[in-house]
Structure 1
């Protein structure tokens, strides 16, 4: 098949207050605000657009897995264990909701954090091979 999906362009995240959430994402995650109205915010973060969309308080991007655990739907990558530990410390100092650094039995380490509405996100200490190549080309 010559037509294939190339990348994820936009992720939609439900939030209860777009203004407060936008400020949180900018302050804590380094997102760049590109548009805002009463119903949504568009942020640029991690080479992707994120739409924070006003939603009911009971909505989140999380899901319940087959073992009854609430799970995240997205993993961010950082470049190495030192970067993961530094980010984890920053999140802890910022009094964000953040879990412990975990060894999940695969390469690298992870931790989970949540935004103001309880949307959970994962962070992994390993950059994907394709992104490593792109990063290498950009730095040359």
Structure 2
């Protein structure tokens, strides 16, 4: 078998209220609504489909590492430190719960942010080389 996985097409994110969560993603992150019913919303942004799935109370996509630190399951990428600083400022202006810009000891800088349901996400200032090449950035 010479086939391989080519890309991640969809990410599923648990939410308490599909209507409220989809509005938040559309208005705060610029997502485009593709489909919505009472149980889920399909959004397109960051070159991916994101399914917001109505879930049981207090569910999130976060997890804890072996040191007890809460971790995110998704890192979004932007093109450079200037872009990272600009989106960080924009998120603050939109009253999104964001962390400070961090130096984690690797290339680039990062910050975290949370959606209405407490799902934690990361933003990194470095685009992957493959993405840059494919989209000629």
Q: Fold-level match, TM-score > 0.5?
A: yes
**What do the CA deviations read for 1:61-96 (whole angstroms, capped 9, x no partner)?**
000111101110110000000000000001111111
TM-score of the superposition, structure 1-length normalised? 0.96
Within 2, Cα distance between the matches of 1:31 and 1:42?
Answer: 10
Alignment partner of 1:117 is 2:101: no
Which residue of structure 1 lines up, in the alignment, with residue 24 of structure 2? 24
RMSD over aligned Cα atoms: 0.9
Q: How does 1:1-140 map to 2 (within 5 A)?
A: 1-136=1-136
Within 2, Cα distance between the matches of 1:64 and 1:11?
Answer: 19
Which runs of 5 or more residues in structure 2 are unaligned? none
Within 2, Cα distance between the matches of 1:129 and 1:77?
Answer: 11
Within 2, Cα distance between the matches of 1:134 and 1:89?
Answer: 28
Q: CA deviation at 1:57?
A: 1.8
TM-score of the superposition, structure 2-length normalised? 0.98
Q: CA deviation at 1:2?
A: 1.2
Runs of 4+ in 1 over 6 A off after TM superposition: none
**What do the CA deviations read for 1:22-71 (whole angstroms, capped 9, x no partner)?**
01000111100000000000000111000000001211000011110111
